[in-house]
Chains A and B, each alone.
Chain A
Amino acid sequence: MDKFIRLTATACPLDVANLNTDQLLPARFLKVPRSAGLATALLHDLRFDADGRERPDFPLNRPHWRDAKIVVGARNFGCGSSREAAVYALCDYGIRCVIAPSFGDIFAGNAVQNGLLTALVSDDEAATLIGLLGEKPHPPLIVDLEQQTIQCGDQSFHFAIDPVRRTRLLNGWDNIALTESCLDKIAAFKMADRARRPWATPAEPE
């Protein structure tokens, strides 16, 4: 997993509350294997019309925002379905960071597994950032995970993130190696638990 330390990039506003994972990745693309890439599928039905033509007004289709690596969203970004492919689609498009006032819990968990930063700001700060991104010339954002700051022109914002997720992103760690260092403890727990909760093991169906 790539480390995330500091990123200077174009940021695209997506001012849509409850932008759920069905929007981020419509269900019909769930069959697509990870290796095939999901960049085109990202926000497909909002980016493209029924004939597959780009909707020119959609922010990510605007020339100054299409190479965005950062998205600034509204409340409850990534709510809904647990599909991790919604995160794959963002990553495949090139997005490394989503800034929003709240995230779906499962989405935020999936994001860190793929090196995608979910940066929490207040409703007002998100609205301010979205306003600034609309000004010309469109300013890039500087997202600094060590400092937990977002710089936009001469304005600076603090963002929140779970400290465990921050550490994982800064180091590019995944969990499996850590868990493998706990295998003895897992085995001991399992043995004690079988005695403590014998009913937790499925009975043999008759």
Chain B
Amino acid sequence: MSEPLTLFDKLWAAHEIVRRDDGEALLWVDRHYVHEGSFNAFSQLKARGARVAEPGLTFGVADHYVPTRGSRRVIDNPEIARMVRTLEENTAAHGITLFGLADPRQGIVHVVGPEQGLTLPGLLIVCGDSHTSTHGALGAYAFGIGASEVAHVLMTHTLWQRKPKRMRITVNGRLAPGIAAKDIVLAIIAGIGADGATGHAIEFAGTTIRALSMEGRLTLCNMSIEAGARSGMVAPDETTFEYVKDRPYSPKGTAFERAVEAWSALATDDGAKFDREVEVNAADITPIVTWGTSPQDALPIDASVPDPAHEPDAARAKYLHEALDYMGLTPGTKLTTIAVDRIFIGSCTNARIEDLRAAAAVLAGRVSKVPGLVSPGSSAVKRQAEEEGLDRIFRDAGLEWGESGCSMCVGINGDLVAPGERCASTTNRNFRGRQGPGARTHLMSPAMVAAAAVTGRLTDVRPLLSGRKT
């Protein structure tokens, strides 16, 4: 009998080209996604006079800087236009397929990869973006890298890495109605902290995870990085295979059947050892919102924001005080009394079709009390949502139905939350200034953002779902 292995052990072993005595290994990369922000790496390539080693395994997506409101034919801001153009030039110069601004496949890279069948179980996937952890939802080893590593992958299609530790987060039980993957992951991060999984690769397991749709798993793995883990993953199963089947770049016919056979072996063996185990009971999870400036500052919606005066630890009290000050909140305020100025539904975390359906289920026949933007995760998601009539629900509620891109999650395309404004957002980071200088972000699920739109304040979505099909 060979030693029982974890899913992550198997993924790692399948990609190891060389292992040095000092413990670092050279890993083969199956997919490399590049975006406008990869320009620094292409500059490094140019400086060395190097070529892209595997243009057929490298795919470009325009997402970070693309306009998501109004016409996309002309980009008014010349600096932003240059970022989009530079990606076009770099991918063209190296023979890399680009899902550019006008391409019907365009969208957020972490939505497009799975959607196009480029992201598959068993692959090693990298991208110069920390939310690359998303792709682990399909049973891939996927992680974000910096510009120097992007340059290294472009030149060699390999990467030197030290094997991270293994962590399993097991979630068992049935989720209550109105509870989404976002609530699960915020509950986990609140529990283990924003650096709780640093140095680890997370495997999400348990009956709750098995019951999640692919969209839910993508949300979960997306936010692994907010717990400090560079990668998160879910062992592939029937849900995965069904999702992957018949996508443009996925294997077809007998090749698909043989692939499913290989992918079915990508599960953690009984008795395999993890360096750390965390268990969560699904029945304990309620709708969660963040109140502070780190995703770990998350609480159930019926709670109140903390009071530094009740915090015995001086460093923690200082942290709470500064976070509350930035967020413009009085200690002890009930979360459900906090009024919001706008809402945003979008990002690689929560802008897939299921997310838009969940928000639309709350908003149907209702009006948003605050302005807001809905930015679908990809152009394909946008088309599907329009076929289902979801765009009408958002528009009728008074919200803006936009285009696909990173948009107001990071604001570098110019879609910003104004200084001092409070935004209920389906995104991944409530960092100071993340949605714009001085912007105040509250993270939550799409349904919870929709609920905040309906009432104009942070709200428990569950009563609003009563009698509705969700």
Query: A195 interface residue, CB < 8 Å from B?
Result: no
Query: A22 interface residue, CB < 8 Å from B?
Result: yes
CA distance in complex: A36, B157 (Å): 29
In the bound complex, do residue B28 and residue A79 qualify as a contact, i.e. CB atoms below 8 Å apart? no
How many A-B pairs fall under 8 Å by CB?
Answer: 191
Which of B152, B156, B315, B433 is within 8 Å of A22, CB to CB?
A: B433
In the bound complex, do residue B438 and residue A82 qualify as a contact, i.e. CB atoms below 8 Å apart? no
Which of A23, A82, A164, A199 is within 8 Å of B251, CB to CB?
A: A199
Which residues of A (55-109) have their CB < 8 Å from a CB of B?
Answer: 74-76, 79-85, 87, 102-106, 109
Query: B252 interface residue, CB < 8 Å from A?
Result: yes
Which of B14, B23, B40 is within 8 Å of A85, CB to CB?
A: B40
Residues of A within 8 A of B120 (CB): 199-200
A175-206: CB near B (< 8 Å → 1, else 0) gives 11011101101100110010001111111011
In the bound complex, do residue A113 and residue B37 qualify as a contact, i.e. CB atoms below 8 Å apart? no
CA distance in complex: A23, B432 (Å): 7
Which residues of B (411-459) have their CB < 8 Å from a CB of A?
Answer: 411-412, 419, 429, 431-434, 437-438
B147-187: CB near A (< 8 Å → 1, else 0) gives 11100100111101010100000000000000000000000
Residues of B within 8 A of A102 (CB): 195, 198, 228
Nearest to B432 among chain A residues (CB) is A23
Size range of the chain B interface in the assembly: 35 or more
Known: A22-B431, A79-B195, A176-B155. Is A185-B17 also a contact (CB below 8 A)? yes
Residues of B within 8 A of A178 (CB): 160
Query: A137 interface residue, CB < 8 Å from B?
Result: no
Residues of A within 8 A of B164 (CB): 105
Query: B332 interface residue, CB < 8 Å from A?
Result: no
In the bound complex, do residue B228 and residue A127 qualify as a contact, i.e. CB atoms below 8 Å apart? no
Residues of B within 8 A of A206 (CB): 248, 252
Quick check: which of A4-12, A26-34, A139-147, A150-158 contacts chain B, the rest being far away?
A26-34
Quick check: which of B255-263, B353-361, B365-373, B386-394 contacts chain A, the rest being far away?
B255-263
Which of B123, B158, B228 is within 8 Å of A79, CB to CB?
A: B228
In the bound complex, do residue B258 and residue A45 qualify as a contact, i.e. CB atoms below 8 Å apart? no
In the bound complex, do residue A106 and residue B130 qualify as a contact, i.e. CB atoms below 8 Å apart? yes
B53-81: CB near A (< 8 Å → 1, else 0) gives 00011000000000000000000000110
In the bound complex, do residue A26 and residue B433 qualify as a contact, i.e. CB atoms below 8 Å apart? yes
In the bound complex, do residue B130 and residue A186 qualify as a contact, i.e. CB atoms below 8 Å apart? no
Query: B338 interface residue, CB < 8 Å from A?
Result: no
Residues of B within 8 A of A114 (CB): 148
Residues of B within 8 A of A135 (CB): none
Known: A84-B40, A164-B162, A203-B117. Is A104-B18 also a contact (CB below 8 A)? no
Size range of the chain A interface in the assembly: 35 or more
Residues of A within 8 A of B56 (CB): 201-202
Residues of B within 8 A of A185 (CB): 17-18, 26
Residues of B within 8 A of A22 (CB): 429, 431-434
CA distance in complex: A81, B431 (Å): 11
Which of B48, B144, B155, B437 is within 8 Å of A45, CB to CB?
A: B437
CA distance in complex: A22, B259 (Å): 40
What are 17 A-B pairs with beta-carbon distances under 8 A? A15-B315, A18-B194, A18-B195, A18-B293, A18-B296, A45-B433, A50-B419, A76-B198, A82-B129, A104-B228, A105-B198, A105-B229, A179-B26, A189-B17, A198-B251, A200-B123, A203-B249
Known: A106-B144, A164-B22, A198-B251. 20 other contacts (CB 8 A): A18-B296, A22-B429, A23-B431, A27-B412, A50-B438, A76-B195, A80-B431, A82-B129, A82-B144, A102-B198, A105-B229, A105-B230, A113-B149, A127-B315, A179-B152, A179-B158, A185-B17, A186-B17, A197-B262, A202-B118
- Chain B positions within 8 Å of A, measured between CB atoms, are 14, 17-18, 20, 22-24, 26, 28, 30-31, 37, 39-40, 43, 48, 56-57, 79-80, 82-83, 116-118, 120, 122-123, 128-130, 143-149, 152, 155-158, 160, 162, 164, 194-195, 198-199, 225, 228-230, 248-252, 255-256, 258-259, 262, 293-294, 296, 315, 318-319, 322, 410-412, 419, 429, 431-434, 437-438
